[in-house]
Amino acid sequence: MSDTIHLNAEPRSDSGKGASRRLRHQGLVPAIVYGGDSDPVQISIPHNKIFHELEHETIYTQVIELQVGDLTQEVILRDLQRHPYKNKVIHADFYRIDKNKPIKIVVPIHVLNAEDCVGVREDGGMITQVVTEIEIISLPKDLPESLEVDVENLHLGETLHLSDITMPEGVELTAMQNVEETEHDDHDLGVVSVVKTREEEIIEDEAPEAPEGEEGEVAEGEEGEVAEGDAGESEGEASDKE
């Protein structure tokens, strides 16, 4: 777990599209903090500050110390809205947490040792990652920045599943909770695999032309016999007509 992120905010009493637009023109991001035993509070945060913190992936998975006026509270970033084409944040949602209660949060899955993967280096395959993030549950103090899966010893045609991820202490995958461990568990999703490259697939799909064999010769002979029979019938018909 990384160092706690600090953000300063100010309460705001006005709401609505017009008020939010005015805040953005002042270099502020309209936001809300909710959850816990307190009522939701409308706040505003300096855009440059939150935009700078968003450069670090950890802001999405770590506890944030949010200071609103004289009150400091621990929150997580629950939702973020960006401008559709401008590089700007237009709204943020923060959720209050309790240190003693587990919380659910989505964390990224990072692939380790991709360059040394035996399935790529020796077998000529390529790595494909199917699951890039997953929901976990843990106490706030145990929240990891990310989960890691090591593919160094993964061969061509092999797959690493959720159950192959080494979980930090106190952290569980919500997808695997209360699930009986079986060899083919539907909840145990494949995370990363080594598959054939596109070029190999194309080469295998290109079937060679079949050489002329006995079957072809027999077929041609049969066609010849049928043709001669047809010709004989035609000549007989012609004689009858004469």
Does pLDDT of 9 surpass 80? yes
Q: Answer left, alpha or beta for residue 127, where phi above 0 means left and psi between -120 and 50 means alpha.
A: beta
Give the single-character DSSP code of 20: H
Average pLDDT of the residues of the chain: 84
Does pLDDT of 86 surpass 70? yes
Does pLDDT of 144 surpass 80? yes
Q: CA–CA separation, 241 vs 227, rounded Å?
A: 21
Q: How far is CA 49 from CA 29, 76, 101, 168, in A?
A: 10, 16, 29, 30
Q: Which of 39-48, 126-135, 175-184 has the lowest mean pLDDT?
A: 175-184
Does pLDDT of 63 surpass 60? yes
Average pLDDT over residues 107-114: 96
Does pLDDT of 234 surpass 70? no
Full-model pTM: 0.73
Chain-centre distance for alpha carbon 176: 17
Q: How far is CA 78 from CA 97, 103, 220, in A?
A: 11, 11, 74
pLDDT digits (tens, 9 = 90+) for 124-139: 999 999 999 999 999 9
Do 26 and 10 touch, CB atoms closer than 8 A? no
Q: Supply the pLDDT for residue 222.
A: 47
Average pLDDT over residues 41-57: 93
Amino acid at the residue 32: I
Q: Supply the pLDDT for residue 212.
A: 58
205 vs 88, higher pLDDT: 88
Q: Supply the pLDDT for residue 153.
A: 96
Cα–Cα nearest to 46, from 17, 74, 63, 67: 67
Average pLDDT over residues 147-175: 95
Does pLDDT of 225 surpass 60? no
Q: Supply the pLDDT for residue 41.
A: 94
Domains by residue range for the chain, with CATH: 5-96 (2.40.240.10), 103-203 (2.170.120.20)
Does pLDDT of 208 surpass 90? no
Residue 48: CB partners within 8 Å, gap ≥ 6?
27
- Quote the percentage of the chain above a pLDDT of 90: 65
Average pLDDT over residues 183-196: 83
Bridge partners (DSSP) of residue 41 are 33
Q: Supply the pLDDT for residue 181.
A: 52
Please count the other Cβ atoms lying within 10 Å of the Cβ belonging to residue 85.
Answer: 6
Cα–Cα nearest to 151, from 203, 113, 98: 113
Q: Supply the pLDDT for residue 178.
A: 67
Cα–Cα nearest to 191, from 110, 116, 129, 107: 129
Q: CA–CA separation, 66 vs 3, rounded Å?
A: 14
Average pLDDT over residues 151-157: 96
Chain-centre distance for alpha carbon 64: 25
52 vs 180, higher pLDDT: 52
Where residue 69 falls among pLDDT bands split at 50, 70, 90? confident
Does pLDDT of 85 surpass 80? yes
